[in-house]
């Protein structure tokens, strides 16, 4: 699963999520702006930087790790100190190491342990987030960590719950995240299996279900196995394009139709490369320059 991109989008969409994970008052999130910064000398990149608007609050430097990695702490510290040297922030800082499970964390060396003891590095273990919650961001994390057997039930319950939301933008955003997690988590999942997770509630009224119904009508009764595979691949690309366009819209505002058309014509590999390259873009001109390299 492409957890780096997914967590970037989670942090971007649910601006209180990090503060929930580190047990700080949610109200503090109002004084922060989320971003991702590349440390150019070594091409390191944080999974998330929460920059306070004022100088009296700390910067939070977040890194997410799902797989065991022995040099995690050495790389994380390298990112931190290169960032401090390169950007010279006036604010204090705190690092947040987010592990999928306790076993994902390597044993900290003596220096790291001292920083942990001092509170410079705070550790979060996502597998501990098992209790009922009203946070949609944490519920999506629970879905990410769910086993293949339990994921459909969790996805369905979350979808039914979010359908009660009066904020339609939030509701649609959560449903799109459910889709994204299922696509990343189960790349071989058929359309019918995805649909089954939404047909047991009032989600029949939502964009996800309505599009599925429309697609089904267009396909006809019998499309053949090969045709079905082609349509499945096409839908996968369409989902990737839609997610990237949403991310670009959040970053730059409105994306003009010409750029949307160029992005929709990219191959699967190019779309995956764009998902990573987005982090480096500061202006729409950067996006245009990148697209020119793909022609």
The residue ranges of every structural domain in the chain are 3-128, 148-218, 222-295
Residue 235's pLDDT is 63
pTM recorded for the entire structure: 0.68
- What's the DSSP call for residue 44? E
Do 18 and 50 contact (CB within 8 A), yes or no?
A: yes
Question: Is 204 exposed, middle or buried (CB count within 10 Å of its CB: 0-12, 13-18, 19+)?
Answer: middle
Residue 127's pLDDT is 94
Do 259 and 287 contact (CB within 8 A), yes or no?
A: yes
Residue 210's pLDDT is 53
State the distance between the two ends of the chain, measured CA to CA, in whole angstroms: 28
Residue 90's pLDDT is 94
Question: Is 245 exposed, middle or buried (CB count within 10 Å of its CB: 0-12, 13-18, 19+)?
Answer: middle
Residue 233's pLDDT is 56
Residue 225's pLDDT is 46
pLDDT 10s digit of each residue in the chain, 295 long? 456 677 888 888 898 999 999 999 999 999 998 876 655 554 566 778 999 999 999 999 999 998 889 999 999 999 899 889 988 999 999 999 999 999 999 999 999 999 999 999 999 999 999 888 989 999 999 999 998 888 888 888 888 888 888 888 888 888 888 877 877 777 666 656 666 665 544 444 545 445 544 555 555 544 444 554 455 556 667 777 887 888 788 777 777 888 888 888 888 888 878 877 776 777 888 888 888 888 7
Q: In angstroms, rounded to a whole number, what is the distance separating the alpha carbons of residues 77 and 178?
A: 33
Residue 201's pLDDT is 47
Q: Does 3-128 carry CATH code 3.40.1350?
A: yes
């Amino acid at each position: 699963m492409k957890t780096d991109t997914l967590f970037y989008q989670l942090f971007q969409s649910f601006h209180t999520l990090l503060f929930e994970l580190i047990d700080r008052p949610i109200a503090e999130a109002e004084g922060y702006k989320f971003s991702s910064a590349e440390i150019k000398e070594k091409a390191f990149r944080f999974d998330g930087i929460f920059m306070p608007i004022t100088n009296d609050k700390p910067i939070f430097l977040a890194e997410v790790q799902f797989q065991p990695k022995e040099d995690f702490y050495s790389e994380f510290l390298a990112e931190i100190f290169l960032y401090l040297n390169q950007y010279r922030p006036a604010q204090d800082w705190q690092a947040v190491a987010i592990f999928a499970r306790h076993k994902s964390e390597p044993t900290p060396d003596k220096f790291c342990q001292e920083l942990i003891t001092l509170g410079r590095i705070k550790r979060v273990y996502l597998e501990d987030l098992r209790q009922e919650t009203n946070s949609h961001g944490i519920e999506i994390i629970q879905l990410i960590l769910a086993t293949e057997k339990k994921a459909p039930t969790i996805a369905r319950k979350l979808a039914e719950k979010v359908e009660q939301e009066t904020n339609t933008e939030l509701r649609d955003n959560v449903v799109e995240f459910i889709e994204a997690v299922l696509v990343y988590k189960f790349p071989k999942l058929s359309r019918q299996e995805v649909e089954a997770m939404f047909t047991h509630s009032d989600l029949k009224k939502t964009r996800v279900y309505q599009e599925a119904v429309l697609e089904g009508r267009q396909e006809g009764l019998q499309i053949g196995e090969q045709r079905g595979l082609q349509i499945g691949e096409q839908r996968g690309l369409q989902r990737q394009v839609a997610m990237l366009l949403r991310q670009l819209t959040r970053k730059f505002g409105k994306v003009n139709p010409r750029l949307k058309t160029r992005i929709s014509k990219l191959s699967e590999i190019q779309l995956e490369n764009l998902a990573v390259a987005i982090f480096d873009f500061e202006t729409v001109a950067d996006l245009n320059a990148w697209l020119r390299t793909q022609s």
